[in-house]
Amino acid sequence: MPAVLNLALAAILWFWLFGELGFEWSVSEQYGYGLFIPFLGAYLLWLRVADRPAPRPWTGPFPVLLVLALVALAYYPLAVLFSANADWRLLPWSIALLALASTILLLARWGGPPWVRHFLPALVLFLFAVPWPSTIEVPLVDHLMTFVAVVSTEALHFLGFEAIRQGHTIQLPTGFVEVEEACSGVRSIQSTIMAGWLVGELWRFRPVGRGLLLVWAAAIAITFNLLRTFLLAWLSALRGPDVMARWHDTAGYLVFALSFATVLGGAWIARPRAARNGNLDTNTPSLGSAEGSGASFLDAPSPRWLPSRGVAVILLLLVGPLPVVFAWYALRAAAVTQPAWRLNLPVAAPQAKVDPLTPSLAQALYTDNGLQATWVDDAGHEWLLYYLVWQRARAAQLGGVHVPLRCLPAVGWVLDHQGPNLTWNRGGVSLVFNTYVFVHGPTHIYVFYGQWDPAGYPYYDKIGRYPSDRLLDAWDGQRMAGKHLLEIGLLNAPSLPDATRAVENFLDRAIVVDPTPATPPRS
């Protein structure tokens, strides 16, 4: 019984992390590989059991139980914060590092420093399931997209094609090729580096070898994605954008398969001599064999397990955040203050060409449903509109990172200035839009960016939320469920005041207010 409880304690420390990230794994192409990591990590740990070294248990039970109790208590505020801030990368990394530190402490108690050194490489795989911090991921994505666009454009020039780079977009005589995040290589880098660590652990590479294997994996991912972007742009230049669209997804799957196969092949060639001979022993005294290693691990008297009563108390503490989070948001959830509304585009702009969101955009924004539309009005203004709706709170939080200040510069537009907010009030509904003026050469585009939810959350004041905003949102029980986004861009308007009047007139015709209260949103 002590062995089972101790191992259950180690597992539940990580299950908290996997439970918090499970939604993002299930809806994100970028981090979808995270669904496999708990199983792959468990398998690597199982393999490590077979040749574990002789234990040298360290420290007494009381300090370990005390630290684990503090870790369990730390999960309570983290769980409350995460429910309102799924996009705050600090939170999953905090949970992951707490889980890793706690597991190291357990290993030190069970088998001492030899066990820590032995099992740690397998545990590290779990960290690859955690989304990269935004301070690393966002600049890396931007730099990679720029690099891919520059190299692809120069390669097209070398082959005699006319091509102009505008931010992350390549302009061709046949149309535009946008270097999306999927094409930049960052998604393949993340999954391919994970694959590099996985095969490095399977074949027990030395630390230097593992480091070189990760560099190799990143280089392979960038190279193949650069080749993919160039080939798609070349096809577009030769036969038009329709051909590129047909090959876009197929090329993506092919790049992933080639990246993984190349990493695997390089690792197989460079694998250590012990792996070539079929011997993965780490030159330490072994207590088990591959056959029946799990049973010997549980039955061996060598590990110094923590006492069952203390572990049971810690397990109860770790279960506690579930009802606490439910009760917290049930009692403090922001009240619905505004009626529901919808966009009636056929009445407001019958000439509009309406399309569903492209799959890549819908996936990047985690949206439940939405549309995009373009049209030219009687005054000659060119309109571009996006209307998105999120019912799930966690999806709304994750989809809030794409804003005009980031996305428009990526395709060549330069921010000229930010104008005063536009507030539209009708029938109890209040929509507030941030306004921006972007320029591209002699062309101006006036952008109106508005977000809304039934509780009246002030999105217009929180573009780029500070940590204090995030703490206050959790305190107020605001999770952004039921969020609507309406983004409007106008070209050929004489000025921002003229564009503002045009948008106000459009909203008067387009917004239909439901007299019944808004439906309570889902979490």
Query: What are 331-358's pLDDT values in tens digits?
Result: 998 888 889 899 999 999 999 999 998 8
Specify the length of the chain in residues.
523
| Three-state DSSP class for residue 465 | coil
Last residue of one domain, picked from the residues 255, 274, 293: 274
Do 263 and 139 share a structural domain? yes
How many CB atoms lie under 10 A from the CB of residue 156? 22
Rounded to an integer, what distance in angstroms lies between the CA atom of residue 433 and that of residue 414?
A: 19
Q: Is the pLDDT of residue 314 over 60?
A: yes
* Token code pair at residue 516: 């019944």
Rounded to an integer, what distance in angstroms lies between the CA atom of residue 294 and that of residue 45?
A: 10
Express the helix, strand and coil content of the chain in percent, nearest 5 each: 60, 15, 25
Mean pLDDT of 210-239: 90
Binning pLDDT at 50, 70 and 90, where does residue 280 land? low
Q: What is the mean pLDDT of the chain?
A: 88
Q: Say which range, 7-16, 138-147, 247-256, has the weakest mean pLDDT.
A: 247-256
Last residue of one domain, picked from the residues 256, 274, 292: 274
**Beta strand 339-343 with 511-517: parallel, antiparallel or unpaired?**
antiparallel
User: 408 vs 116, 192, 397, 412, 433, CA distance in Å?
Assistant: 48, 29, 21, 7, 17
Cβ–Cβ < 8 Å for 473, 84: yes
Q: Is the pLDDT of residue 173 over 60?
A: yes
Name the CA radius of gyration of the chain, rounded. 27
How confident is the model over 131-141, as pLDDT tens digits?
A: 999 888 878 87
How confident is the model over 46-76, as pLDDT tens digits?
A: 999 989 999 998 878 999 999 999 999 999 9
Do 260 and 313 share a structural domain? no
Mean pLDDT of 300-317: 88
> Domain total for the chain?
3
Question: Per the domain annotation, does 288 fall within a domain?
Answer: no
Last residue of one domain, picked from the residues 332, 352, 374: 332
Write out the DSSP string of 297-318: HHH-S-S-PPPHHHHHHHHHHH
Rounded to an integer, what distance in angstroms lies between the CA atom of residue 155 and that of residue 161?
A: 9
| Three-state DSSP class for residue 284 | coil
Rounded to an integer, what distance in angstroms lies between the CA atom of residue 233 and that of residue 165?
A: 12
Do 495 and 390 share a structural domain? yes
Position 287, amino acid: L
* Token code pair at residue 118: 């032995």
User: Which is more confident, 321 or 271?
Assistant: 321
* Token code pair at residue 317: 């503490």
Closest CA to 119 of 192, 10, 211: 10
Rounded to an integer, what distance in angstroms lies between the CA atom of residue 181 and that of residue 144?
A: 9
Closest CA to 185 of 229, 244, 129: 229
User: Tokens 């949103």 identify what position?
Assistant: 521
Question: Per the domain annotation, does 216 fall within a domain?
Answer: yes
Do 86 and 171 share a structural domain? no
Do 145 and 114 share a structural domain? no
Do 186 and 257 share a structural domain? yes
How confident is the model over 6-49, as pLDDT tens digits?
A: 999 999 999 999 999 999 999 888 898 999 999 999 999 999 99
Do 169 and 71 share a structural domain? no
Beta bridge partners, 337, equal none
Do 439 and 306 share a structural domain? no
Do 21 and 105 share a structural domain? yes
Binning pLDDT at 50, 70 and 90, where does residue 361 land? confident
Mean pLDDT of 84-107: 96
Cβ–Cβ < 8 Å for 343, 511: yes
Beta bridge partners, 136, equal none
Angle, alpha carbons 442-443-444 (nearest 5°):
125
Do 122 and 150 share a structural domain? no
Position 296, amino acid: S
How confident is the model over 97-109, as pLDDT tens digits?
A: 999 999 999 999 9
Rounded to an integer, what distance in angstroms lies between the CA atom of residue 128 and that of residue 64?
A: 26
Check residue 298 and give its pLDDT: 52
Cβ–Cβ < 8 Å for 147, 154: no
Question: Per the domain annotation, does 170 fall within a domain?
Answer: yes
Q: Domain containing 171: what range?
A: 134-274
